[in-house]
Amino acid sequence: MRTLLTVRANKVNTFYLTKAISTASWKFWVRWFFNFSGWMGSAVVVNSGLRYTETLIQIELRAALTRHAHKKYMSANNFYKTAVLRDGGLDNVDQRIVADVDAFSKEAAFLYGHSFKPILEFTLSLTEAAKELGYSRPLALFGAQIFITTVLRQMSPSLGKMVAKEQALEGGFRHTHARLIAHAEEVALLGGSDREIGILDDGLKNMVVTQRWHALQRIRKSVADNVSKFQGLLVGSIFVHVPFMVRAAVSEGERISMFRATEELMLRCGSAFTEVLLLGRNLDELAGYTYRLSQLFRVMDKGVETEKKRAADDRLLITGDDGVDAGGIRFDGVSVGAPEPGGGHRLLVKGLTMTVERGSHLLITGPNGSGKTSLLRVLAGLWAPIEGTVTTPKVADDENKDKAVMMWLPQRPYLLQGSLRDQVVYPRTALADGNLYYHAAKAKAKEEDEKIKQCLRMAGLGKFVDGGVPNVGLATRHLEWNDVLSGGERQRIGFARLFFHAPPFAILDEATSAINPDEEHSLYEHVLAQGTTVVSIAHRLELRKFHHRELQLAGDG
C-alpha cells in the first residue's frame, strides 16, 4: 500500500506541479494542491502504521526468542554448566540472551520492513517509467548495476565475523564490570582499586582496538556502497535524459512535465533497486548475530539431550509410603574428579560405594580440597562422575510430584529479589502472591504466612516477624537481601527454608559456618525432629553427635 501510494503520488504530483509552473496555470496548480494534500494524509496514516508494525515485530520476535532462550537456559542446569563448567565454550551467555537477541530482532525487523518494499517499489516504478522509456533501457541499466555491485562486494570485507567479534568483546567488558560489582566489598577491603582499574582498562582497550580496526574495514564497505549508489544515479540519469532530448516535436512545457515525472520515477526505481542490492550489508550483520545465537541454542540443546539420556538410564525406584525412594542415596563405585581447563579431571574420590538410608545421618569430613563439595555436586547432578553410578531419591507418583525430596543448604544461601516471605518459600511461589479473590485462597495464604513466621522463629529470625526490627515483616522487600542481612542471618534464612519445605533429605554444606556453635545445635535438633535425613559437610567436630556415620575424605583418590 505504501509503495503504491508513493509511486502514484510521485508521478501525479510531479506532473501537475511541473505543468503548472512551466505554463503558469492555476488550474494545474490547484489540482497539484488537492492531490498532494490527499496523498499526504494517506501516506501519514500508512507510514505510521508500518512503523508501528515493524516495531511490534521487533518486540514480539525478541520476546519469543528470549522466552525460548530462557527455557533452554534453565533446563538441565544449562545455566550452571555454561557459566561454571564452561560447557560448549560459550562466552558471556547473558550477553547473548540479552544484547544479541535484541540486536538480532532489530536487524530481522528492519529487513522485514525494508526488503519487500524496495522490491515492490522497483517493480511499480519501472512499470510506470517504461511507458515513456520502454523496458530495454532500464533493464540494461540495472543489469550493469548488478555487475558493478557484485564486483564491489567481492572487494568488501564481511561484516558477519566483525559483528560476532565485537559482540564477544562487548560481553567480556560488561562481564568484567559485573564481576567487580559482585565482589565490590572484597576489592574495597583489599584496597584493589588501582589493580581493578587496570583490569577494566585492559578490557576497554581490547574492545576499542578491535572496533577501530573494524571501523577502518567498514570504510572499504562504505566506499563500495557509495560508489555503487552514485554511479547508479549517474548512469540512470543518462538513460533518462537522452530520450527526452531527442523529442524535438513535443512542446517545451509538455516535454518538461513528462521528463520530470519520468525522472522522479526512475530515481525512485534506481534508489529502490540499489536498496535491494545493499540489503546484503544488513544480511551480513544479521549473520553475525545469527552465528552467536545458533552457538547458544546448539549448546543448550546438547545439554538438554544429555540430561534426557541420563534420566533414561536412571534405575527403577523402590518407593516408600510417602512416595519417596525407600532406598535413599546410593553410590556405586563412584569416582569424582575436579574438571580442569584442558578437559581432564583431577581425581579426588575413587570407587566410593555406600548407601545413605532414610534416618541414617552422614557427616562428611576432610581437609580443604579433598572433594567434599565435589562429591555433593555429583550427587546433585551438576557434575558427572568419572565412573560409577549415583542413585538419588525421587518422587515416583503424581500425588507427590511437587514435593521437595532433597534440599541443599550451601554455605552461602541464595537470596532472590523479593520479599522476606519469598526467601522462605523459594523455589515455590508464595500463596500470598497469587489470586486472593476467593475467601478460601485468603485463608490458605494466611495459614501459610503463619507457617513461614514459625519457620523464621525456629531459625532464630523471629525478630523480623515479631516486631523486633521496626518496619520489617513478611512483605518487606529489598533490591538485594545479601546487602541487608549478615552472613549468619543469611544462613538462618536457609534453615527457615529447610523447615518450611521439610524435605526427606537435606544436604548441608558448611551451612552453619557463620553461626555461633551453641546456636547451631538448636538448628540441627529442629531439622532432625522434623524427620529430615541429613548429609553434612562440616569442620566443627561437635556436630558428630547429630550423625550416625562419618565419611572421611583424604583428597588423594
pLDDT in tens, 405-433: 889 999 989 898 889 999 999 988 888 87
Residues 165 and 218 in one domain: yes
Do 40 and 157 lie in a common domain? no
Domain that holds residue 351: 329-552
Q: What is the DSSP letter of 100?
A: I
Specify whether 338 is located in the same domain as 385.
yes
Residues 195 and 92 in one domain: yes
Count of all residues that appear for the chain in the document = 557
Residue predicted with more confidence, 297 or 256: 297
Q: From the CB of residue 359, how many other CB atoms can be counted at a distance below 10 Å?
A: 12
Scanning the structure block, which residue is given the C-alpha cell 526512475?
A: 266
Q: Mark whether 105 and 142 lie in a shared domain.
A: yes
Measured distance CA(246)–CA(255) in Å, rounded:
11
- Neighbouring residues of 324: CB distance < 8 A, sequence distance ≥ 6: 358, 393, 394, 395, 396, 400, 403, 405, 504
* Inside any domain, residue 67: no
CATH number at residue 516: 3.40.50.300
Residue that the C-alpha cell 563439595 belongs to: 373
User: What pLDDT, on the 0 to 100 scale, is given for residue 319?
Assistant: 45
Is the Cβ–Cβ distance between 490 and 412 less than 8 Å?
yes
Q: Which residues of 277-299 are buried (b: 16+ CB within 10 A; e: fewer)?
A: bbbbbbebbbbbbbbbbebbeeb
Q: Which residues pair with 354 in a beta bridge?
A: 331
pLDDT surpassing 80 at residue 303 = yes
Which pLDDT value is given to residue 238? 61
Is 319 a member of any domain?
A: no
In this predicted structure, the answer to whether residue 293 has a pLDDT above a threshold of 80 is: yes
Same domain? For 179 and 250 the reply is: yes
- Within this chain, do residues 35 and 127 fall inside the same structural domain, yes or no? no
pLDDT of residue 235: 61
Phi-psi region of 191 (alpha: psi -120 to 50; beta: other; left: phi over 0): left
* pLDDT over threshold 50, residue 136: yes
Residue 557 lies in a domain: no
Q: What percent of the chain has pLDDT over 90?
A: 27
DSSP for 298-367, written as a single string: HHHHHHHHHHHHHHHTPPPP-B-TTSBBTT-EEEEEEEEEEE-TTS-EEEEEEEEEEEE-TT--EEEE-S
C-alpha cell at 273: 533497486
Predicted local confidence at residue 526, as pLDDT: 95
Q: How far apart are CA 144 and CA 138, in angstroms?
A: 10
Global confidence as pTM: 0.70
219, 82: one domain: yes
Q: Are residues 300 and 424 in the same domain?
A: no
Distance CA 227, CA 241 (A): 21
Question: Which has more pLDDT, 330 or 308?
Answer: 330
pLDDT at 338 over 50: yes
Q: State yes or no: pLDDT of 245 exceeds 70.
A: no
Question: Stretch 494-512: mean pLDDT, rounded?
Answer: 94
Residue 322 lies in a domain: no
Nearest CA among 9, 10, 554 for reference residue 264 = 10
Task: Decide: 240 and 266 in contact? Cβ < 8 Å.
Answer: yes
Q: Looking at per-residue confidence, does 374 or 182 come out higher?
A: 374
- The answer to whether residues 335 and 289 belong to one domain is no
Cα–Cα distance between 420 and 461 in angstroms, integer? 11
Residue 278: DSSP 8-state: T
pLDDT of res. 68: 93
Assess if residue 66 is contained within a domain: no
Per-residue pLDDT band for 320 (boundaries 50, 70, 90) equals very low
Count structural domains, the chain.
3
Residue 248 is part of a domain; what is its CATH number? 1.20.1560.10
Residue 283 lies in a domain: yes
Structure confidence by residue, pLDDT tens digits, 43-101: 667 667 777 888 899 999 999 999 999 999 988 888 888 887 878 888 788 889 888 99
Question: pLDDT averaged over the chain?
Answer: 79
Tell whether the model's pLDDT for residue 548 goes beyond 50: yes
Q: How far apart are CA 281 and CA 285, in angstroms?
A: 7
Task: Check: CB of residue 497 under 8 Å from CB of residue 426.
Answer: yes
**Across 154-177, average pLDDT:** 80
